[in-house]
Amino acid sequence: MGIVSPGFHGRRRPDVKLPPGQYLTEDFPVLSAGPTPRVRLDHWEFTITTEAGKEHRWSWQEMLALPAESVTVDIHCVTRWSKLGTSWRGVPLDTLLADIDTAADFALVHSYGGYTTNLPLADLLDGQAWLAYGYDGADLTAEHGGPARLLVPHLYFWKSAKWVRGMRLLLHDEPGFWETLGYHDYGDPWREQRYQGD
């Protein structure tokens, strides 16, 4: 008698649609442009600065007091890995931007440690982006961007800046860290917008 029944081919992975050039990973690779900042929660703040220079600030406790959402999304890294069904908790950017008067079309996100990335403001609204502080049912670890990171899952993951401390609202687009080094200004994984010219 054989060990394996005839016709058995092992566990099949359900058909999943990935952006072009991506492969699935079960891991959560850690990639950073520099050392991991260690931000004390009593010193953490998030500031949105309008194009007119008006600042709106939240401390850690004020941010935690805002309405939060739990979301499950797929994420795609420009280095070609994709991780499906990731679970996050955080404050929708819609909530943070709701009472801010602005004519801006763009945002430049700033992180502790000096990292920046640019995004159209429209990509941060309408339930598309969060200030995430939880991952997989636990606090977001520093290696993955804790205490809080931007989460913009419909774009390549470098747009989901780790260790966020604020954003400037801009009338004109201004490239961030990777964009000044040749990465695409927008970064749509479904259109393989990895580098300038893609």
Position 1 scores a pLDDT of: 43
Q: 52: exposed, middle or buried (C-beta count within 10 Å: 0-12, 13-18, 19+)? A: exposed
Domain parsing of the chain, residue ranges? 44-191
CA distance 151 to 183: 18
In CATH, the architecture of 44-191 is: Alpha-Beta Complex (3.90)
Q: Is this prediction's pTM over 0.95?
A: no
Given a cut of 60, whether residue 30 has pLDDT beyond it is yes
- Give the confidence band of 34 by pLDDT, cuts at 50, 70, 90: low
Specify whether the CB–CB gap between 132 and 123 falls below 8 A: no
Please state, in angstroms and as integers, the Cα–Cα distance from residue 17 to each residue in 10, 21, 136, 156, following that order: 21, 11, 23, 16
Given a cut of 70, whether residue 171 has pLDDT beyond it is yes
pLDDT in tens, 52-102: 999 999 999 999 999 999 999 999 999 999 999 999 999 999 999 999 999
Q: Please enumerate in sequence order all residues whose Cβ is within 8 A of that of 138, keeping only pairs 6 or more positions apart, or say none.
A: none
Q: What is the mean pLDDT of the chain?
A: 91
- Whether the CA torsion 7, 11, 14, 20 is positive or negative: it is negative
Q: What is the percentage of the chain residues whose pLDDT exceeds 70?
A: 90
